[in-house]
């Protein structure tokens, strides 16, 4: 049969282990909350970075498209300017095709 001193020693050890377990649990709660908050910030920053990267790729593609078709765009613009000048030289304003009474 254990002595009274051993029982008191075991009781104090049990209290100490319970106290350290409670502190460990509290630390785990704070750590998981902090990790969740950091995860939210990382996700938001990742989304912003992905959006900026997507926009950069879009503008890069647009610039490449415009540069590869610069001759076609120039011919169309010159044609439009030429047609507008032609219409003005004929004494008629450029119209939308509606008849005026």
Q: What is the pLDDT of residues 41-55, one digit of tens each?
A: 999 999 999 999 999
- Give the pLDDT of residue 95: 63
What are the structural domain ranges in the chain?
Answer: 4-66
- The pLDDT tens digits for 70-99 are 888 899 999 999 998 888 887 656 566 666
pTM: 0.51
DSSP string, the chain: ---HHHHHHHHHHHHHHHHHHHHHHHHHHHHHHHHHHHHHHHHHHHHHHHHHHHHHHHHHHHHHHHHHTHHHHHHHHHHHHHHHHHHHHTT-----S----
| Average pLDDT of the residues of the chain | 88
With 60 as the cut, is the pLDDT of residue 101 above it?
no
**pLDDT tens digits, one per residue of 25-34:** 999 999 999 9
Kindly tell me if the per-residue pLDDT of 13 is higher than 60: yes
């Amino acid at each position: 049969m254990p002595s009274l001193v051993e029982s008191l020693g075991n009781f104090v050890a049990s209290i100490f282990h319970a106290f350290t377990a409670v502190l460990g649990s509290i630390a785990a709660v704070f750590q998981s909350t902090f990790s969740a908050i950091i995860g939210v910030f990382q996700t938001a920053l990742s989304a912003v970075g992905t959006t900026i990267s997507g926009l950069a790729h879009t503008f890069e593609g647009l610039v490449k498209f415009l540069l590869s078709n610069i001759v076609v765009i120039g011919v169309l613009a010159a044609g439009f300017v030429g047609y507008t000048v032609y219409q003005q030289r004929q004494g008629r304003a450029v119209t939308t095709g509606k008849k005026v009474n």
